[in-house]
A and B are shown apart, each in its own frame.
Chain A
Amino acid sequence: MSNATNATQSCPETSGLENHLAAWGLPTTEKRLSKRLSSNMEEVRSFYDAMLPRLPEFIEYLNQFPLDAIPKEAHQIAWATLAMCEVDNAINKWNDITLDTGIDILRMIPKKNFPDRGQQ
């Protein structure tokens, strides 16, 4: 893995992807999950198809920085790259926005730490 402090690659060209990056470049897993749940398959597929060929290049670019030194202008690319994980199953396994053989995914509340049981 390249972790050089002197980044050599410049920020990848994203023309044509602007709308997708704006729609899916959301900062948290929870926000990206809601984005999937509120999208239709056509929107999800168009995002996936546009992003997939670019992912290796995006990841290699982002990978050259220490995590806290990823340039601000690349944050949206990073978050949209992570949003691809959120739509993977919908595209590749379910051909549907949600999994119809699992509990409502919003019932699973993300914990903050081991003792976290929410308000008691």
Chain B
Amino acid sequence: MGKPENLALPEIGSHALGTGKLPVEQYVSQEFFELEKEHIFRKSWLLVGRESDIKAPGDYQNFIVDTLGVSVVITRSKDQKLRAFYNACTHRGARLVNAPTGNVRALVCNFHGWSFNLEGDLINVPDAGLFAELDPKQEHLKPIHLDVWGGFIFINLAEKPEWTLREYLKPLDDKFDRYLGNKDWSWSFGWRAKFNANWKLIVDAQIEGYHVDMTHRKTIAGAIPGSNTAAYYFPESVGVPCGVAAYRPEDVSRGMQTPMNLLSAKYGATSIYTKPERQFAAEGGEGVLKEDHPLWIFDNYLVFPNIVLFVQKGQILIQRTLPISADECIWEVDFYHTERPTSFGHVFNMEQGVIQIRDVLSEDLYTAEGIHANFKCGAITHVNLNKQEVPLRAYYNRLLSAIEQSQAKEKP
């Protein structure tokens, strides 16, 4: 344990971004949603996958942005490079792949058999002589910007992205890139669910600590007191407007530690809410993990527009929410660890952790649909935010500024 003065927690939040109520149109207005499609989802860097899932030459992943109708195929070619293309055959527009993932020697269109190599070049046209004039060089698959950071694949649908991925992600710097990109991370478990709610309401529920004591009163309340979660905001950042840090209570006996929690804690560290007897193992993390604070558990960061990335020692947790329409979304959560269980004790520990976090997430997800309906029917036109909820102001500000900047660029 650190010296007593190290126990000081960061400021819980701030009024610096204002104190007024916020309107709610951005959650329910169809016009606003059209602006988001055009100026947010077509312009932002979007996290679409993990580099290690597309490892071998010929591996591909098909990523769909439902609301744009955009299907992206991401390939790994023999030169080891990752590339992204619209999943669209240049003959007459058919989709080239339909499975979410796979391995192919070439992308062969099911309609008439045009085939493209993994670099996107048209390499074969059945009965090519039937075409009066066909220049294969002109028929390359339409490329999409792709970059990798922290082992995650991001794409950007803009013709020319405003920012490089690294500029976009500041203040998350190279130290994060190294920690998250460590090849020891492997996917452990995850869930997905559909909601009749605007996509941002699912994000909102993860970027403030004010809800913890009440929302989680039947699971983890006390183990992370709401007063031990601190809000950040990064007004200068393009793609990371805000985040939350969580600390254990000074009094470790707070929170309900069931006999099952205590027993499982002997065998591993998989539950982020149970003080483990063993720590997660992870390489590196200097400048990322706040290990000099004895109570620190995790930081999370909103990666604009739709990702909440939780970073802790030995565990990464990613929550992704994508709209289907203004009123519907798909939420996904994925966990990465650096250790695989090799003994039953660890399996037991992991099972306890998986079930605890599953139940906690089910609480986080409980309010969005009701809120959405209340906004939509007009019962609520404005919301109140306190200083601990400053990340929601930062998120809102970024949403508006991103749209304004993009609109300004398009004006002749």
Contacts and interface: CB of A to CB of B under 8 A. Distances in A.
Interface of A: 1, 3, 29, 52, 55-56, 59, 62-63, 65-67, 70, 78, 81-82, 84-86, 88-89, 92-94, 99, 101-103, 105, 107-111, 113-118, 120
B384 interface: no
Given A108-B358, A118-B192, 4 more contacts: A59-B263, A84-B260, A108-B193, A113-B101
Interface in B326-377: 330, 332, 334, 341-348, 351-352, 354-356, 358-359, 361-363, 365-366
B189 A117 contact: no
5 contacts: A29-B355, A88-B258, A102-B365, A105-B359, A108-B362
Contacts of B325: none
Interface string B116-143: 0000000000000000000000000000
B67 to A, nearest CB: 14
A116 B345 contact: no
Nearest to A3: B343
A66 B342 contact: yes
A29 B353 CA distance: 12
Size band of the interface chain B makes with A: 35 or more
B187 interface: yes
Contacts of B346: 1
Nearest to A33: B355
Given A86-B355, A118-B192, A93 B348 contact: no
Contact of A120 (B64, B190, B355): B64
A63 B356 CA distance: 22
B135 to A, nearest CB: 33
Contacts of A102: 218, 359, 362-363, 365-366
Contacts of B215: 101
Nearest to A86: B355
B49 A115 contact: yes
A65 B344 contact: yes
A85 B343 contact: no
Contact of B190 (A65, A101, A110): A110
A116 B100 contact: yes
Most buried by A among B98, B219, B344, B365: B344
A95 B287 CA distance: 43
B53 interface: yes
Given A108-B361, A114-B334, A88 B187 contact: no
Given A103-B366, A115-B61, A93 B263 contact: no
A80 B126 CA distance: 58
